[in-house]
């Protein structure tokens, strides 16, 4: 993944923490649920395994598959030379970036031309088909850069909604943490924590209509559940008192 997200002739970009663990965890849960369902239907139990390495390879299938079938690597993406100028990132007037994701350019080209104030481009013989736009990518990209730079990212979002274009603002983590849409859709929750007070936490991304998941409490403090755990393992209060006196537990 580090290799693929680097631009050509640049050093690999550092990987983000938790990318493998956090994304593999729901797959583990789904695999276990499937195995339990199969056991209920067939009476056959089975071992479920998931490798972080293999999960990473599966996630990179669009890049790994050509290497398997053709013995070739897809070229690294350079936003200045991508073949499809309508599937690329551009910087807006306020310094923020927006991402266009329109691989089916024939579908969007007429409305896109109107949205950017260039309706004459729709029938321009240089750009009037998908293949021509691919061939003219080095012409279109700098022109799109100039046009996108004329308005803010928020303005382009409104224009995209009006003309039904696929455009998204590239947000920072802080912007996401304060995104009204994310809060309205219960991406986050709040819990009371003894030391820090009211904490904002990520919610489960899976929504159950009848039995919704919830964050009931924050992480335990050091030693907070030691007694409960030991009692559950059949230690007595006398055992616990002795271990505390000896400094074995807190």
So what's the pLDDT on residue 28?
93
So what's the pLDDT on residue 221?
83
Low-confidence ranges of the chain (pLDDT < 70): none
Please state whether the predicted TM-score (pTM) of the whole model is above 0.75. yes
CATH class of residue range 87-170? alpha beta
So what's the pLDDT on residue 197?
83
Burial of 86 (0-12, 13-18, 19+ CB in 10 A): buried
Residues in the chain: 250
So what's the pLDDT on residue 165?
97
So what's the pLDDT on residue 17?
86
- Domain residue extents for the chain: 1-75, 87-170, 171-218, 220-250
Tokens of 199: 């904490």
Burial of 237 (0-12, 13-18, 19+ CB in 10 A): exposed
So what's the pLDDT on residue 164?
96
So what's the pLDDT on residue 194?
77
Burial of 171 (0-12, 13-18, 19+ CB in 10 A): middle
Nearest-10 crossing angle of helices 19-42, 52-59: 100
So what's the pLDDT on residue 195?
76
- Within 8 A by CB and 6+ apart from 204, the residues are 213, 214, 215
So what's the pLDDT on residue 15?
83
């Amino acid at each position: 993944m580090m290799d693929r997200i680097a631009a050509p002739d640049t050093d690999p970009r550092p990987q983000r923490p938790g990318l493998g663990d956090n994304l593999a965890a729901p797959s583990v849960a789904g695999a276990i649920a499937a195995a339990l369902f199969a056991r209920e239907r067939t009476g056959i139990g089975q071992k479920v395994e998931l490798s972080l390495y293999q999960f990473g390879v599966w996630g990179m299938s669009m890049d790994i598959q050509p290497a398997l079938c053709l013995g070739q690597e897809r070229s690294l993406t350079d936003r200045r030379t991508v073949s499809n100028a309508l599937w690329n990132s551009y910087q807006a007037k306020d310094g923020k970036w927006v991402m266009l994701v329109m691989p089916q350019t024939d579908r969007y080209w007429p409305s896109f031309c109107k949205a950017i104030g260039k309706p004459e481009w729709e029938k321009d013989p240089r750009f009037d088909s998908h293949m021509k736009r691919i061939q003219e990518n080095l012409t279109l990209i700098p022109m799109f850069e100039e046009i996108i730079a004329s308005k803010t990212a928020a303005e382009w979002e409104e224009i995209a909604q009006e003309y039904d274009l696929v455009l998204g603002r590239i947000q920072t983590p802080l912007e996401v943490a304060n995104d009204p849409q994310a809060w309205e859709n219960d991406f986050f929750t709040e819990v009371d924590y003894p030391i820090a007070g009211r904490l904002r936490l990520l919610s489960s991304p899976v929504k159950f209509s009848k039995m919704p998941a919830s964050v009931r409490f924050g992480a335990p403090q050091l030693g907070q559940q030691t007694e409960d755990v030991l009692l559950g393992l059949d230690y007595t209060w006398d055992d616990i008192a002795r271990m505390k006196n000896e400094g074995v537990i807190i």
